[in-house]
Amino acid sequence: MAMMVKPLLFLLLCLLLHPIAATNDNLVPERREVYDNGRIIDITHRYTPETPSGGDPENGVGQFLRLRDSMKNGSICNGSELRKLFVHAGTHVDAPGHMLDIYFDAGFDIDTLDLGVLNGPALLVDVPRDKNITAEVMQSLNIPKGVRRVLFRTLNTDRKLMFKKEFDTSFVGFMKDGAKWLVDNTDIKLVGVDYLSAAAYDHLVPTHLVFHEGREVILVEGLKLDDIQPGIYSVHCLPLRLVGAEGSPIRCILIK
Ligand SMILES: *C1O[C@H](CO)[C@@H](O)[C@H](O)[C@H]1NC(C)=O
Ligand SMILES: *[C@@H]1O[C@H](CO)[C@@H](O)[C@H](O)[C@H]1NC(C)=O
Ligand SMILES: *[C@@H]1O[C@H](CO)[C@@H](O)[C@H](O)[C@H]1NC(C)=O
């Protein structure tokens, strides 16, 4: 017994005296989906070379990160650079200029998005799995007036489309009449969806136009909504302040 205690004490002493050595023994970073015992849920997908992108349909975003300065090569620090990241890849947000050139030219870029809309109480709902989001589907969801932020979970989540690097055009999204119904009949200003586009592929442009025309609705796309109970949360989304860009990667979390 005593023979075991001594080395243990020694080890403990070493750990106390050499905090850096101590952390070096345990160099396995933790990657999490939830924080603080589940109170904070990360609804952002990781950005990796395999992250799907409508701009690079076959191959995902590819090698968008590069180690420009490397300590292994004598630099005083490691320094990575972002090289080529389509701003509508992975979890991202659209600005009104995405499909309305007049708004692009006028400067309605990511930096002008209302953080008040991107942050606040939000409802996570399940959409019937056998349809795209039409006016009829929107009506059937019975989203109460006054609800300003809704995250729509669809078949895309079940199909794990965001985990596949190839862009899949058969994803579920809003049909033009669904978007119009939402704009005309609800108070929803933040529309969150679980694939790269809020608009179904067949209605890509007309649906985006309906959403973006009024410059009030913000589309957050490519959210990670797996394994979360439907209901009310507090959503917090922060895009990068990309001046001149009509899209941006965005970090979104839900708080219970
Ligand atoms: C960056 O720096 C750390 C510390 O020296 C080193 O362990 C790591 O391997 C470096 N990364 C690369 C890719 O050079
Ligand atoms: C270090 O430099 C060599 C030679 O220029 C290069 O081949 C290698 O990729 C560099 N490594 C890193 C991590 O930058
Ligand atoms: C939704 O629309 C897309 C075309 O935009 C289609 O490929 C897909 O099958 C539709 N999904 C459902 C569930 O109806």
CATH code, 236: 3.50.30.50
Answer yes or no: is 25 within a domain.
no
pLDDT (0 to 100) of residue 1:
42
* Closest atom, ligand 3, to C-alpha of 200: 5
Q: Which of 237, 248, 240, 215 is nearest to 119 (CA)?
A: 237
- What does DSSP say about strands 92-94 and 247-255: parallel, antiparallel, or unpaired? antiparallel
Ligand 3, atom 3, residue with closest C-alpha: 170
DSSP state of 24: H
- Ligand 3 is surrounded, with C-beta below 6 A, by 130-132, 155, 170, 172, 200-202
DSSP sequence for 55-99 = TSTTTTT-S-EEEEE-GGGT-SS-EEEE----TTBSSEEE-GGGT
Q: Which residue has the higher pLDDT, 5 or 139?
A: 139
How many structural domains does the chain have? 1
What does the alpha-carbon distance between residue 27 and residue 194 come to, in Å, rounded to a whole number? 33
Whether 247 and 215 have beta carbons less than 8 Å apart is answered as: no
Answer yes or no: is 246 within a domain.
yes
For 161-209, the pLDDT digits (tens) are 999 999 999 999 999 999 999 999 999 999 999 999 999 999 999 999 9
Q: Quick check: pTM over 0.85?
A: yes
Ligand 3 center–CA 201 separation, angstroms: 8
Structure tokens at 62: 């590819």
Ligand 1 center–CA 23 separation, angstroms: 16
Answer yes or no: is 191 within a domain.
yes
Answer yes or no: is 74 within a domain.
no
Mean pLDDT of the chain: 91
Answer yes or no: is 124 within a domain.
yes
Answer yes or no: is 172 within a domain.
yes
Answer yes or no: is 144 within a domain.
yes
pLDDT (0 to 100) of residue 25:
66
Answer yes or no: is 38 within a domain.
no
Residue to substitute in 73, 75, 83 for testing ligand 2 pocket (most ligand atoms within 8 angstroms of CB): 73
User: Containing domain of residue 167, as a range?
Assistant: 92-255
Residue to substitute in 70, 76, 77 for testing ligand 1 pocket (most ligand atoms within 8 angstroms of CB): 70
* Closest atom, ligand 2, to C-alpha of 69: 14
Ligand 3 center–CA 170 separation, angstroms: 5
pLDDT (0 to 100) of residue 26:
83
Ligand 2 center–CA 67 separation, angstroms: 9
